[in-house]
Amino acid sequence: MDVTIDTIRVDVGPLTPAEVVAVARAGRQVELTSEAVAAMRESRAVIDGLAHDSQPHYGVSTGFGALANQPIPPDLRKQLQRSLIRSHAAGSGPEVEREVVRALMLLRLSTLATGRTGIRPQTAQVYARLLNAGITPVVHEYGSLGCSGDLAPLAHCALALMGEGRVRDADGTPLEAGVALGRAGIVAIELVEKEGLALINGTDGMLGMLLLAIEDLRELLVVADIAAAMSVEALMGTDAVFAPELQALRPQAGQAVAAANVRALLAGSAIVASHRGPEDTRVQDAYSLRCAPAVAGGARDTVDHAASVAARELAAAVDNPVVTRDGRVASNGNFHGAPLAYVLDFLAIVAADVASIAERRTDRHLDPARSHGLPPFLADSPGVDSGYMIAQYTQAAMVSQLKRLAVPASVDSIPSSAMQEDHVSMGWSAARKLRLAVDALRGVLAIELLTASRSLDLRAPLVAGPATAAVRARIREHVAGPGPDRFLAPDIEAVVRLVRDGSVRAAAETVVGPLS
């Protein structure tokens, strides 16, 4: 797929994960290709041929779900589509984030562009214009069971195409959809046969959140290696266990990558060198130090598996029914979110465990029985000062929350639509809790970085390695070094921002080059 500097071209073929993230987060513009328009015209002709057929065709001349056997007369078939969107736009709860809604909309547009849904090109063009104008329909937390598509979330988006419902404009101002469309010069669409169903019967919300989470977790796993290296160094751990020949004995791909990162980050450390050799009486470090690559590496492999599932879903045309290449309109079950729900749950488990081992390393910094000479809680004057005691409490609270978020949503199923839809994936719920898990993991790693930086300061006159010293220096631009107790919450949030904006990784990479 061609990608210009400013525009993502939506074709009959799949989008890339990077393109989805660029539209969702960076506000990139989109453009339907002529090939996509031609494919939509071709499948639309099939639907038009059925619009007045006396034979039942699901989504064209019948009701939906448990009402699929209810015939709809020709003069009510356009009203059927409008009623579908209005009734299904039944979400409730807090608003879903703008980036999620934009990802969801782009992915639905991509499926429309395949020419398998029977939608008119002009309807898809209006969808693209909404994205380009920065108009974001208000989508709510609750309403999708991850089966028959993300129905309520997508219906709220389709409602905006009709000039109804609530949206936010490019500045984030809430207003009525009709007003927003008018200001943008967009004429609302009157849906015709099959179009309402084509706009809502997809896994786009689940997939969009999966792609955003994969992007975030890939970054956070590099940060986890940086934090682990700083902790190994500051806790007087050994780098010998990360040797390539030892990692090769267990050929797990992610583990090898994580160990290589830690080795690079610890290279040249005077602190590590200070206790290397036969005079060091410790046989081996605690698991949270020694096994860091196994955990972060296993997490990488799980993210890679999730990415492979996402890639297959990006190549899918999820709708029911679909227009086949030979001109049939065929029912199917491709809208079931199980494949996505499973990996969304897997990633929540990954986030919880990476956070768990990071919290255990943090706790070692604070305990004089295990920190090899550091003051209790890294306090300036222990007793008068509490140091980072409560930072670990905050971290522990987040880890506890992560464990709850790791309980899988995909094992639950509540039948719906009078038992016609008697097994559902709960993939939307899995995606929503994964977003919370990613945020919590970011906070846990930020606290480990904050703590390890102070421990490295307290190892003076021993000097940290160039890479870890660069990370500590970047943190010190925003957070003061050791001293009497200070208001700690702003320091934690400052490091969270440095993790989120890529500054922590960038600081390390100025020394060691790209980390994997």
Catalytic position from the list 58, 127, 142, 287 = 58
Helices 503-512, 466-476: crossing angle, 10 deg rounding: 150
Residue 140 bridge partners (DSSP) = 95
- Give the Cα separation of 100 and 103 in Å (integer): 5
3-state secondary structure 76-120: HHHHHHHHHHHHHCCCEEEECCHHHHHHHHHHHHHHHCCCCCCCC
Task: Say whether 459 sits in a helix, a strand or coil.
Answer: coil
Give the type of residue at 217. L
For residues 239 and 232, the answer to whether their CB atoms sit within 8 Å is yes
Place of tokens 């988006």: 157
CA-to-CA separations, 125 to 33, 37, 347, 390, in angstroms, rounded: 10, 9, 35, 53
- Give the Cα separation of 302 and 348 in Å (integer): 11
CA-to-CA separations, 128 to 25, 381, 509, in angstroms, rounded: 16, 61, 38
Nearest to 338 by CA among 427, 270, 269, 265: 427
Q: Is 58 an annotated catalytic residue?
A: yes
- Give the Cα separation of 60 and 211 in Å (integer): 32
Place of tokens 């039948």: 415
**How many angstroms separate the first and last alpha carbons of the chain?**
26
- Give the Cα separation of 438 and 352 in Å (integer): 9
- Give the Cα separation of 362 and 291 in Å (integer): 15
DSSP state for residue 198 in the 8-state scheme: H
Q: Is the dihedral of CA 468, 473, 474, 479 positive or negative?
A: positive
CA-to-CA separations, 94 to 29, 179, 182, in angstroms, rounded: 27, 22, 26
Q: What is the DSSP string of 343-379?
A: HHHHHHHHHHHHHHHHHHHHHHHH-TTTTTSPPGGG-
Residue 329 bridge partners (DSSP) = 323
Catalytic positions:
58
